[in-house]
């Protein structure tokens, strides 16, 4: 059994609010530091060319596969296809990582141990948490805690806690066999939106939970959703897709997956307001800079990175 990492990279930036000191090179360096002590196989999928600073770093630890500018959704689908193409056996594990995450130095070692110690768990993440009734979502139809949710006791691996989560971002990992069987779910959750992925829905569908409460769905379908006319029309158009999502959650028992994340998280999304709790990430970043200082990083006068408005890091 091998652990693989497919790291999705885009040289440009989007308009997200980033913490002080953030850069994609810093995130990449934190990943490379985590790779140093872990027995993992690494592939970088770059959406277009990498900068002359970052590409040598990638080539120092893994294989670089350049995509022809396919965009965020295209690179996400390419990563899934790459992992499920038959190149790796079903029992292997693949971690998908976006390019705007900061890693703890022990992140990949602890992940590898969990993959080995928890053979019945199909999906593991370094970032994410259980549903929180105190936190609102960006979609009024999303249930804060899914109907029927049962909080399971944490799993322990070498003194580390792994807890059940309802969802995470598109940085997560899964066993190849489960990923292959679940490709229909991943594809389904890529519609109907053009510029986003339904990560929340994906995590719940994989585990057999309905993402949406029915009362708001019914109101949306008959034009009674909150908001102005344009928002009501949009809600009415999307409601059938959300209803279909609930129906898709009724998976047969053999395909209801367990989805766990390390607690505290072993990596964090570098977006202000969404940083993982329980770790001094500023200190982690400073440690990465010290670790990277004596190492060459290519030509700092790299290509000026383009900006992809509204896009999400990782493709």
When pLDDT is averaged across residues 117-135 and rounded to a whole number, the result is 88
- Decide if pLDDT at 315 tops 50: no
Tens of pLDDT, residues 228-239 = 999 999 999 999
When pLDDT is averaged across residues 14-39 and rounded to a whole number, the result is 95
Mean pLDDT over each residue of the chain, to the nearest integer: 90
Write out the two tokens for 25: 């090179």
- Decide if pLDDT at 2 tops 90: yes
Closest alpha carbon to 152 in 167, 164, 162, 165: 164
Beta-bridge partners for 156: 161
* Structural domains present in the chain: 3-133+153-193+262-292 (3.90.550)
Torsion angles phi and psi, residue 174, rounded to 5 = -150, 155
DSSP letters, 68-126, are -S-HHHHHHHHHHHHHTSSSS-TT-EEEEE-SSEEE-TTHHHHHHHHHHH-TT--EEES
Tens of pLDDT, residues 165-200 = 998 999 999 999 999 999 999 999 998 887 788 998
When pLDDT is averaged across residues 2-20 and rounded to a whole number, the result is 94
CA 99 to chain centre: 10
Structure confidence at residue 311 (pLDDT): 44
CA dihedral 222, 226, 229, 232 (to 10 degrees): -40
Structure confidence at residue 15 (pLDDT): 84
Of 303 and 1, the structure prediction assigns the larger pLDDT to 1
Write down how long the chain is: 315
Structure confidence at residue 66 (pLDDT): 97
CA–CA distance, 225 with 228 (Å, rounded to integer) = 9
Of 132 and 212, the structure prediction assigns the larger pLDDT to 212
């Amino acid at each position: 059994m091998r652990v693989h990492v497919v790291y999705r990279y885009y040289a440009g930036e989007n308009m997200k609010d980033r913490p002080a000191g953030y850069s994609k090179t810093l995130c990449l360096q934190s990943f490379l530091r985590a790779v140093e002590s872990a027995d993992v196989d690494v592939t970088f999928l770059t959406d277009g060319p990498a900068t002359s600073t970052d590409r040598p770093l990638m080539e120092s630890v893994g294989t670089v596969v350049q995509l022809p500018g396919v965009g965020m959704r295209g690179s996400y689908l390419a990563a899934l296809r790459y992992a499920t193409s038959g190149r790796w056996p079903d029992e292997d594990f693949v971690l998908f990582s976006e390019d705007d995450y900061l890693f703890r130095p022990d992140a990949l070692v602890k992940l590898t141990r969990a993959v080995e110690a928890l053979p019945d768990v199909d999906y593991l993440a370094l970032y994410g948490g259980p549903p929180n009734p105190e936190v609102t979502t960006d979609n009024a139809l999303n249930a804060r805690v899914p109907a029927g949710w049962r909080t399971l006791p944490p799993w322990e691996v070498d003194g580390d806690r792994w807890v059940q989560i309802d969802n995470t971002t598109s940085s997560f990992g899964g066993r190849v066999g489960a990923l292959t069987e679940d490709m229909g779910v991943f594809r389904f959750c890529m519609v109907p939106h053009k510029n986003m992925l339904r990560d929340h829905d994906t995590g719940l569908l994989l585990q057999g939970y309905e993402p949406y409460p029915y009362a708001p769905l019914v109101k949306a379908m008959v034009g009674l959703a909150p908001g102005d006319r344009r928002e009501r029309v949009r809600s009415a158009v999307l409601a059938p897709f959300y209803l279909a999502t609930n129906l898709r959650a009724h998976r047969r028992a053999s395909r209801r997956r367990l989805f766990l994340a390390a607690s505290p998280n072993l990596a964090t999304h570098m977006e202000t307001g969404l940083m993982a709790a329980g770790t001094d990430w500023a200190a982690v970043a400073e440690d990465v800079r010290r670790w990277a200082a004596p190492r060459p990083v290519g030509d700092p006068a790299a290509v000026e990175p383009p900006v992809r408005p509204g896009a999400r890091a990782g493709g």
